[in-house]
Amino acid sequence: MKTEKLLATLAVVSIVIFAGCKKDDFVGKVGVCPVVISTIPANSATGVPVNQVITVTFNEKMNPATITQTSFTLQGPSKVTGTLTYDGSGPTFSFTPTTPLLYNTTYTGKVATSVKDNTGNALQKEYVWSFTTIGQYTVTLSSNPLAGGTTTGGGTYDSGSSVTIGATANSGYTFSNWTEGGTMVSTNANYTFTLTGNRTLVANFTENIKVYSVTVASNPQIGGTTTGGGSYNAGTSVTVGATANSGYTFTNWTEGGTVVSTNASYTFTIGGNRTLIANFSENIKVYNVTLSSNPIAGGTTTGGGSFNEGTSVTVVATANTDYTFTNWTEGAIVVSANPTYTFTLNGNRALVANFTKIIKVYTVTVSANPAAGGTATGGGSFNEGTSVTVAATANTGYTFANWTEGTTVVSTSPGYTFTASGNRNLVANFTLNVYSIGVSAKPTAGGTATGGGSYNYSSSATVVATANTGYTFTNWTEGTTVVSTNASYTFTINANRTLVANFTINVYSVALSTTPPTWGTATGAGPYNYGSSVTVAAVANPGYYFSAWTDGYDVVSTDASYTFTITENRSLVANFRESIVVNSLTVSANPLIGGTVSGGGSFNSGTLVTVRAFANFSYNFTNWSENGTVISTDATYTFTLNSNRNLVANFTKSTLINCILLSSNPLNGGTTSGGGTYYPGETITIKATPNTDFTFVSWSEDGNWISDNANYTFVMTKTRNLVANFVKGPVSPAARNPKTRNQ
């Protein structure tokens, strides 16, 4: 695991090492590991300009020959081409893209391990970083209404740009405001804002109002009066009115000789100046002749209506069947005894044609159906036109239904009144009463009740109550009155009834005891209703623990709190046992990522217990503490557990970092990998790969043999300078170790 900040700090300090970062015939060099200490843009930067020049700064001057288009690349959706500039006079090189970068795009820069300093030391790890370019947003503009005006300034801009948009009103319109999503954002026609997202703006315009005049006049002037003239805004709804004077009638409205309306009240939407003339015509006298019949059913009249003064008018009276014409009267004066009456009209007339009824006698017959259902009265002989009332009276157990004549129902009222106009044969119909018996159970869970329904008057009914499990039938009640204590109750129907079958819930007892009696207590005994949820609880005395609940010889629960539904009497025993003291040991790491711990758990009091702490990579074990007090600085801590304990293994972050420097001997013998900077305690594997015709011999440090394994693994404890030794051609196994090579 590498830390950029620590790398940079380490890189700027020159250290004297043997062979440096490069070994050549075992001649010592002075040098440092090249490290990238900064970039422009920085890693994870956002909002980077699209014309940004990229720079990379090392901790020392580098060999310009190694700073190439191959050792440095910039990648976006595709590889970026550009000009790479570095003269070696300083630690910073620059890269200028050929074309601007793309907007709102993430780019990744890479510096390869092929870059070297002026002493030949190479970058030990490829350096990779990324950044994101600035975004762009769109400004969309429109006019409301479209004819109201034009807008300028819409388009695409960089995020954070200052944008100014403009609105210009067309002729006949005035700019009102800018709105976005229905919300007003500015009343200035030129609106400037900083762009942080897409904007959709509407320039709102108001149409300028025009005023028109309406002129009204009467023709002839004495014919009538006019109203509604004046000045009005364009588009206004205008109503002009014409009122005729006595002796005149309104004819129409005209404009420039053209009829525009025949309604005295003329409404229109104004779009220009108007000059309207209300035209009137002089009236001719007209009189009305109004006719009527007495009585109305006696006959009909013809000849009435409206006539000009002096007209000869004839009215005719025609008697209906069973009537004869008597005379014409006006007020109380008889004006003619002739059904056809002719006169000259000189004023309004109101004439009545009088008729006389021819009297007839009719018979009304009444009867009851069925005969036992009731009685019918009111029949007899009656003059035509007489009001007749017949009456139906129901007997006990019956209800009047209706009066019928043939198969037609003529009335549903027991007292039926009508006017005699013919012979009648009326039947009073009665129906046998049907009563409702309603039954229910109380409580509902107590049982069921049957036998309810509809029954004819005087029939026999039986209702039955059946108790559910856990309940007993008590009685039948109606309202608050007990009507029977028999579950099966029979009676004669003579009225509607609502019966309730009452049930009582069974009660059972729960008896409790403990064994041994002095080792604990039990609660929850008592009487309970059937189906109740019962909870009994057992509490052990100090030094004892609850074992089980038993009922007879059967274990019914191992829970100290035992809940069950009661359906019968219960006799329960709470059983107790003598207990052993057990202590708990809790262990944890601080911080959690600092390491791992073991040894926690539950133990009998007096047990010898060992806890262990294991530091994670880049952390060191510090101490064991309890409630903030240090109790041991040993990662493995052993003690006797006599109480509950909570131990914390404390770790601290390692701050030291070391450098692994690798080289090949001879230089063309092969390549190495795995060098770089690491934390102490980190497990490192370095690798030596021989070139063609060479064989790996060993790893050495300061001229001393270290390992003959090309893949050499070790734990980082200090800065190291390791040489991979190769020989031309094959080599025997004995020759790999200098200790055996000289024997």
pLDDT, tens digit, 9 for 90 and up, residues 391-418: 999 998 899 999 999 999 999 999 999 9
Q: What is the pLDDT of residue 31?
A: 56
Count each helix (H run) and each strand (E run) in the chain, helices first: 2, 74
Sheet holding 54-58, edge to edge: 36-40, 54-58, 92-97, 82-85
If DSSP codes are grouped into helix, strand and coil, which group holds residue 29? coil
DSSP string, 50-87: TTPPEEEEESS-B-GGG-STTTEEEESSSBPPEEEE--
Residues 123 and 85: their CA atoms lie apart, in Å, by 19
Handedness of CA 369, 370, 371, 375 (dihedral sign): negative
Q: What is the pLDDT of residue 25?
A: 37
Residues 704 and 216: their CA atoms lie apart, in Å, by 126
If DSSP codes are grouped into helix, strand and coil, which group holds residue 619? strand
Q: What is the pLDDT of residue 737?
A: 60
Q: 721 with 700: CB under 8 angstroms? A: no
Between strands 554-557 and 619-626, the pairing is unpaired
The DSSP letter of residue 134 is: P
Low-confidence ranges of the chain (pLDDT < 50): 1-30, 740-743
Domain boundaries, the chain: 33-133, 136-207, 211-282, 286-357, 361-432, 434-505, 507-578, 582-653, 658-741
Q: What is the pLDDT of residue 565?
A: 94
Specify the CATH class of 33-133 in words.
mainly beta
Count other C-beta atoms under 10 Å from residue 726's C-beta: 24
H or E stretch covering 216: strand 211-219
Q: What is the pLDDT of residue 735?
A: 59
Residues 298 and 313: their CA atoms lie apart, in Å, by 23
Q: What is the pLDDT of residue 110?
A: 96
Residues 423 and 164: their CA atoms lie apart, in Å, by 101
∠ CA 42-47-52 to the nearest 5 degrees? 65
Residue type, 542: P
Q: Give burial (CB, 10 Å; 0-12/13-18/19+) of 426.
A: buried
What are the C-alpha distances in Å from 563 to residues 518, 537, 558? 24, 9, 11
